[in-house]
Amino acid sequence: MFSILSPGYHIPAHSGVSKGILRTHLGLIIPKDAEKCRMRVDDKIQVWRPGEIFVFDDTYEHEVWNDTDDERVILLFDFDRPMKLWGRVLNKTFVSLLKLTAYYQEPKKNMQTMEERFEAATRRADQNLEKLSDTDEWAR
């Protein structure tokens, strides 16, 4: 998914739930003053750079700051940690069960609601633009 961090925004410290998954960030649009847009993972500070990737274990406590006037956009994706067969089986089972919980279902529902609201707003904006263009035709 894409992660867009607004200017002045802070994501409080939090941790992931499974060592079986590694999180990856690819810097896409990074504020010019990159040092003020940073992420702390455990006790290390990470700064995004356009086109650069970093991978981390999100079970370590991490938090994010954007102390700039610009948005930060990254591509965020997860992948399974390399493991032997039984580790992979256990991880797949855990993730499947996790998807049945409120921990997963609530954000998924919120994302769906946000997407529906965005699509409705886009349709309304298109309709308003069409009305404005129709009004322009009458004004001429």
Backbone angles phi, psi at 127, to 5 degrees: -65, -40
Of the pLDDT bands very low, low, confident and very high (cuts 50, 70, 90), residue 54 is: very high
What was the pLDDT predicted at 135?
A: 63
pTM (2 d.p.): 0.65
Of the pLDDT bands very low, low, confident and very high (cuts 50, 70, 90), residue 131 is: confident
Q: How far is Cα 67 from Cα 85, in angstroms, rounded to an integer?
A: 43
Q: How far is Cα 106 from Cα 112, in angstroms, rounded to an integer?
A: 10
What was the pLDDT predicted at 114?
A: 76
Strand partners, 2: 75
Q: Compute the half-sphere exposure of residue 107: CA atoms within 13 Å on the CB side of its CA.
A: 5
Question: How many CB atoms sit inside 10 A of residue 75's CB?
Answer: 13
Q: What is the mean pLDDT of residues 22-41?
A: 95
Of the pLDDT bands very low, low, confident and very high (cuts 50, 70, 90), residue 103 is: low
Q: How far is Cα 1 from Cα 64, in angstroms, rounded to an integer?
A: 17
Is residue 57 over pLDDT 70? yes
What was the pLDDT predicted at 65?
A: 97
What was the pLDDT predicted at 139?
A: 57
